Each structure stands twice: as C-alpha cells, then as structure tokens.
Homo-oligomer: A and B are copies of this chain.
Amino acid sequence: MQENDRDLLPEGLGDRLPQQAWASQTVRRAAHDVLASHGYARVETPVLEFEKALAHRMAGVQVRRMFRFVDPVSMRMLALRSDITAQVARIAATGLAQAPRPLRLSYSGQVVTIKGDGLDPARERLQLGAELVGADSTEAVAEIVELAIEALRAAGATGVSVDFTLPDLVDTLSAGALPLPSMNIEAVRQMLDAKDAGGLVDAGGEAYLPLLYAVGPFDSAIEQLAAFDVGGVLASRIAALRAIAARVGGKARLTLDPSERHGFEYQSWFGFTIYADGVPGSLGRGGTYSILGQTGRNPESATGFSLYPDPLIESLSAAAGEERRLFLPLGHDREVASRQRAIGWVTVAALSEADDALALGCSHKLEGGEAVAL
C-alpha cells in the first residue's frame, strides 16, 4: 500500500467541504422548521443497534444491505442503520407506545448501506423524514404529501413534482374483479412495473393491460384508471387520490403511475415519489404502511415520507453565495467585533501580522469601529 492510500476514502463515502456542508445545514434546518411548525416532534436514533431490531418492525427491510458485525459487549449482531423509518417505528411501538395518536414524529441522520443503489455509488446518505403514526386515511396522506412538498420547497427545491402509486393494486384487483392464479400474481406485478405489455399477456394478465395507459399527468391518468375500474373495486381509492390531488395540486406537478412498485416494498394502499427541477433522480418517497406492535399488540397503521436530499444539497452548494466576512485586525476592539456579529457579520480575527484579509475571504475590514470594504 502506498503511503497516500491512507488518505483515500472508501468507495461511496465522502466528506462535505464547506460549501456542501453549508447547503446540508440549510436544507436540514429549513425542512425541520417546517415539520416542527406542523407539530412533528423530532426524535434521534442511534447509528447502530441490534440487527434483529432494525429488521423486525416493517416488511421489506433488507438486512443484507446493512453493515453487520458482532458486538463485543453483548456478543450479538449489530447493524449500522440503513433506514431511520424502522427506528422511528420502534420508538412509536415502545418508548412512545402510550403517547396519544395520531403521533407526529420527525427525524434526520446519516444512513449507510454496504453497496450503493443502482447507478448511485453512494453508501452513506442523509435521510430526513416525518411519520404520522396511527393514521393512514386520505386526510393523513394529504397532510404527509403536502408536508413533503413544503419541506422540500423550504429547503430550496423548485419545480417539485409528485408521482402517486397504489402499491397493493394487483393484490386488490386479483382478489376482486380481475382474479389471477396465485402463481401468476408476482409475474403480473413485475410486468406492470416494467411496463412490458407482451410480458403481461404472457403472464396471463391481459385484463390488466389498460393499467399501462393509466400513467402520466394526474388528471388524465386518473380518468383512464376510473374508466378501467368498471367493477368499482378501486372506487374508494380513486376518490382518495382525487381528494389528495385536489389538496396538493396547487403546490406541485402531479403524475400517476398506479402499478409502480420499486421502493414501495413496505407500503400498503398509497405510495408517492417526489422530484424537483434540476435534481437528478428522485428526492424521496413515502406512503402508508403498517408498524408491527409489541408482542400481543396489533399492528398500527402509519403514513410517512423519507427524503434523501443529497442531490438537492449538491445543486444548492453550487449556488452558495458569498457571505459578508469582516476582517478584525490585531488589537481590535472586542466589544465592537461582538456587536458586528450580533448584526449578522461573520468575523475573522487576525492571529498574527501575517494574516491576509483577502486571502481569508474577507470582503470588509474593521477600521475605526466601522466595517470598511476592502
């Protein structure tokens, strides 16, 4: 190994230098302020815990994507958290089991996976979200979708769009109007997800073909879905989607992709993905789900979203403006300097005669008690 090798960071792990870290702080503060103003109380969770506890509360948590190792203290397997939602579900089911419902919680923190996700090599990401525990109604979904949009806009995202989906659509239809042999259900799901009409027919899902056209801008796609739903099995869901769209449509572009499944492994009747202009890929997703209770307690319904704002942070950091920095010469009046900070200046104190105000990024210098432009 070369000496310099020691400085390399592992693949998919990186630092945020000042501009990126500034953008990261800005995004987190703005989003949390929005969540707090809607009554979502912040919780914080450990970066590692028992593997079993992380995997236990929700379907679809992929243990094999987590870093796992033996705890020398307990001799049990620990894992680095790859999803904070599962930890918040644990808190809701244990420490806050007795808190009144609906319970509104928010969180943010770093999550880690062994490998990156698809084309994105990152193994560590910021996750920031909100969970509304004890409700998965149309009202709950509307609040959560609206909150996700508002949090992203406050964090600096523009041109937000939201794609709605119905994660258990095939289950619902095949149990009702459009029965399928149970051995074909998974294949039909996959072909719908892949938008593969030929494959759908081969899987015995001809009757599901119209779903491939109920995709796109919300207003037209929901009409296609309603026309397809001749038996009315989906009527309550379609009405719910329309109500949610009416509530949030003024704040974001809406689309519908009723059979999209990727990323919604633990969602129940509703799911959504959120995007913003100029930011590659999605910024997060959410929906309704179920939290397993303590032994002997029933599962609890919940609605929530998780944002992964790293691409937004990258795009905002490129646009970071210059701050007003005031150079304080050696022997400056410390009271005056303190007053300048109180009115918003960032001050940079000289430590020796060699310190160069311009090199240190200062736009002004304290002279005779005043900030003078350099």
Q: Does A112 count as interface, using CB distance less than 8 angstroms? A: yes
A42 and B21 contact, Cβ closer than 8 Å, known pairs A3-B295, A37-B347, A56-B6: yes
Stretch at the interface among A45-53, A172-180, A191-199, A222-230: A45-53
Considering only CB atoms, which chain B residue lies closest to A34 in the complex? B341
List residues of A (40-77) whose CB comes within 8 Å of B's CBs: 41-50, 52-53, 56, 67, 69, 71-74, 76
The stretch of A9-17, A160-168, A261-269 in contact with B is A9-17
List the B residue with the shortest CB-CB distance to A46: B13
Residue of B nearest to A342 (CB): B37
User: When chains A and B are docked, how far (Å) is the Cα of A76 from the Cα of B38?
Assistant: 45
Residues of B within 8 A of A93 (CB): 7
Question: Is A346's beta carbon under 8 Å from chain B?
Answer: yes
Q: Which residues of B contact A102 (CB under 8 A)?
A: 351, 355, 360
Q: Smallest CB-CB separation from A106: which chain B residue?
A: B21
Judge if A4 is at the interface, Cβ distance under 8 Å: yes
The listed residue (B15, B41, B341) touching A46 by CB distance below 8 A is: B15
Residues of B within 8 A of A48 (CB): 10, 13, 67, 80, 112, 124
CB pair B110–A47 under 8 Å, yes or no, is yes
Chain B residues with Cβ below 8 Å from A234 are none
Assess the A114–B72 pair: CB atoms within 8 A: yes
**A294 interfacial contact with B, CB 8 Å:** yes
Contact between chains at B21 and A43 (CB < 8 Å): yes
Asked whether A100 is an interface residue with its Cβ less than 8 Å from the other chain, the reply is yes
Q: A11-B74, A15-B44, A349-B143 are in contact. Are A325 and B39 (CB under 8 A)?
A: yes
Q: Footprint of B on A, CB under 8 Å?
A: 3-4, 6-18, 20-22, 24-25, 29, 32, 36-39, 41-50, 52-53, 56, 67, 69, 71-74, 76, 78, 80, 87, 90-91, 93-96, 100, 102, 104-105, 109-110, 112, 114-115, 123-124, 132, 135, 137, 139-140, 143, 294-295, 325, 330, 341, 345-349, 351-352, 355-356, 359-361
Instruction: Provide a sorted-by-A list of 12 A–B residue pairs whose CB atoms are within 8 angstroms.
Output: A9-B49, A11-B73, A12-B73, A15-B87, A17-B95, A37-B341, A39-B325, A46-B124, A47-B80, A72-B114, A100-B361, A102-B351
